[in-house]
Amino acid sequence: MRIAMIGSGYVGLVSGACFADFGHDVTCIDKDADKIAALKRCEIPIFEPDLEQLVRGGMSSGRLKFEKDLAGGVSDADAVFIAVGTPSRRGDGHADLSYVHAAAREIAAHLRDFTVIITKSTVPVGTGDEVERIVREANGNADFAVVSNPEFLREGAAIRDFQHPDRIVVGTEDERARKVLGDIYRPLYLNQAPIMYTKRRTAELIKYAANAFLATKITFINEMADLAEQVGANVQEIARGIGLDNRIGSKFLHAGAGYGGSCFPKDTRALVKTALDYGVQLRIVEATLTANDNRKRAMARKVANVLGGDIRGKTIAILGLTFKPDTDDMREAPSIPMITGLLDLGAKVKAHDPAGMEQAKKELTGIEYCDDPYACACNADALVIVTEWRQFRALDLERIKASMIAPVIVDLRNIYRPEDMWALGFKYESIGRPN
Ligand SMILES: NC(=O)c1ccc[n+]([C@@H]2O[C@H](COP(=O)([O-])OP(=O)(O)OC[C@H]3O[C@@H](n4cnc5c(N)ncnc54)[C@H](O)[C@@H]3O)[C@@H](O)[C@H]2O)c1
């Protein structure tokens, strides 16, 4: 199959490199000229484990190319994927579809033979209809079908997720398109990944329903953590106790500072807005959104309370800035409202993150960035774990303690055992566990 991938960000680049690895001929296209120039030199613009190796392999096999312009890649393609961003629209929280619509118009101009246009971007119900309308309006002679094929990969484990998906969802009622998608994904269902064909609108909604459900599950356990703290229970054991029930499942029951990232916040907001447009109120998702937004900033007050309430002039060291480990993505990271909250309370903030500091500098000013966890902890009144990077699990805690003004750790990811920390002489507070 000849594939054009419009948008070479997290999803486009990972999907394109994986498709090339399956044996397809892939052209990854991006309007960001610097990104394309870097990719042509095999410099990966994002932090994603094992991606460089995969891209290098694709390029040296000749099956993976990078282009700034759509023309060649699209006119020769059997399938054109749209993997551009769909951020929250400023002001109202709807998904901003301007990039998707622009990509559809550009694709239309270059279509030749029958081509399947596939939205991989997360798009609200009905977007496939609109893409179809745009293409038809721009190129009345085009022979094409528009398919929804939402992507479920997670940053940090993106390649593994793409190569071993729980399911592949394909929304189309067009037989020719169904065959093309079947050919593209054949290497995966030979590997037992179930491919589910459904209507386009259903596929579009499946993606939002999945993200909203997971966001709700996280928020649920976060609220249980708050209750556990008040009643002297342990949220980790509650998570295990309910997660062993197959109907519930153990994943996404890890209490913390609230969900963030490039998907859950914007997708839950967009889903609520779409539903309201159709006269439906999604009260559970609305409650999730509010609870999660409030929680991120409340983490600043939690830190202040551990230090007796007044943190004016105190130095707080933050370990982990990205919304989760193994990514440099800072989009809607809980660290941002939390650190802003600490600054508003008059604290000085130092921070370290293994991969996210360059991105963080664009979002967070007025804090001191440190090269390693030890420099970060030095002379701090409290150390706060915000992201559970692996390297924070095996710190030399004696060294950390000796360099701090006071031995105080607030662990928002529950990466340490309270008994161990008390034995080391720390004042240690975590989430939803006895302190
Ligand atoms: N990041 C994730 O973990 C993830 C997971 C599943 C689904 N998604 C969804 O996938 C979509 C893409 O997300 P992302 O994180 O890859 O975004 P991203 O911002 O990392 O990448 C989008 C890329 O598209 C490019 N672009 C925009 N308009 C273009 C055009 N007309 N022509 C060529 N290139 C264009 C941008 O320059 C950018 O490089 C979103 O809808 C997102 O919700 C993301």
**Do residues 259 and 219 touch, judged by C-beta distance below 8 A?**
yes
Q: Which residue has the higher pLDDT, 229 or 90?
A: 229
Q: What is the pLDDT confidence band of residue 191, given thresholds at 50, 70 and 90?
A: confident
* Ligand 1: centre distance to CA 396 (Å): 39
- pTM value is 0.95
* Nearest protein Cα to ligand 1, atom 36: 7
Residue 269 has pLDDT above 80, yes or no: yes
Determine the atom of ligand 1 nearest the C-alpha atom of 103.
31
The sheet that has 79-82: what strands, in order across it?
64-67, 25-29, 2-6, 79-82, 115-119, 144-148, 168-171, 195-198
pLDDT mean over 63-82: 96
Which residue lies with its CA nearest to atom 37 of ligand 1? Answer: 32
- Whole-number percent of the chain with pLDDT over 90: 97
Q: Give residue 165 CA to ligand 1 midpoint distance, Å.
A: 19
Q: What are 413-427's pLDDT values in tens digits?
A: 999 999 999 999 999
Cα–Cα dist 409/426, whole Å: 7
Q: Which residues contact 311 (CB under 8 A, 6 or more apart)?
A: 303, 304, 342, 345, 346, 347, 381
* Diameter over CA atoms, the chain: 74
Residue 370 is a catalytic residue: no
pLDDT tens track for 207-262? 999 999 999 999 999 999 999 999 999 999 999 999 999 999 999 999 999 999 99
Q: Is it the case that residue 190 has pLDDT exceeding 80?
A: no
Q: Which atom of ligand 1 is nearest to the CA of 86?
A: 41
* Minimal-distance CA residue to ligand 1 atom 1: 10
Instruction: Please tell me the distance between residue 267's alpha carbon and the centre of ligand 1 in angstroms.
Output: 14
Among the options 28, 263, 370, 376, which is catalytic? 263
Of 10, 152, 330, the residue with max ligand 1 atoms within 8 A of its CB, to mutate for a pocket test, comes to 10
Assign 178 a pLDDT band (cuts: 50, 70, 90): very high
What is the residue with the minimal CA distance to atom 17 of ligand 1? 85
Q: In angstroms, what is the span from residue 156 Cα to ligand 1's centroid?
A: 16
Please choose, from the candidates 79, 83, 36, 78, the residue with its C-alpha nearest in 3D space to the C-alpha of residue 55.
36
Of the ranges 118-122, 124-128, 192-196, 344-348, which one carries the lowest mean pLDDT score? 192-196
Token digits for 125? Answer: 């119900």
Average pLDDT, the chain: 97
**pLDDT of 193 strictly over 90:** no
Distance CA 394, CA 390 (A): 8
Ligand 1 pocket, CB under 6 A: 6-12, 29-32, 35, 83-86, 99, 102-103, 106, 121-122, 151, 153, 155, 262-263
Flag whether pLDDT at 7 surpasses 80. Answer: yes
Instruction: State residue 294's pLDDT score.
Output: 95
pLDDT score recorded for residue 220: 98
In tens, the pLDDT along 306-354 reads 999 999 999 999 999 999 999 999 999 999 999 999 999 999 999 999 9
The confidence score (pLDDT) of residue 232 equals: 96
Q: What's the average model confidence in pLDDT over 397-402? A: 98
HEC profile of 101-159: HHHHHHHHHHCCCCEEEEECCCCCCCHHHHHHHHHHHHCCCCCEEEEECCCCCCCCCHH
Q: Which atom of ligand 1 is nearest to the CA of 99?
A: 28
Give the span between the Cα atoms of 237 and 51, in whole angstroms. 36
- Give the pLDDT mean for 25-44: 97
Ligand 1 mean position to 98 CA, how many Å?
12
pLDDT for the residue numbered 343:
98
Residue 434 has pLDDT above 90, yes or no: no
Tell me: pLDDT of 297 over 80. Answer: yes
**pLDDT bracket for residue 91 (50, 70, 90):** confident
The whole-number pLDDT of residue 412 equals: 98
pLDDT of residue 417: 96
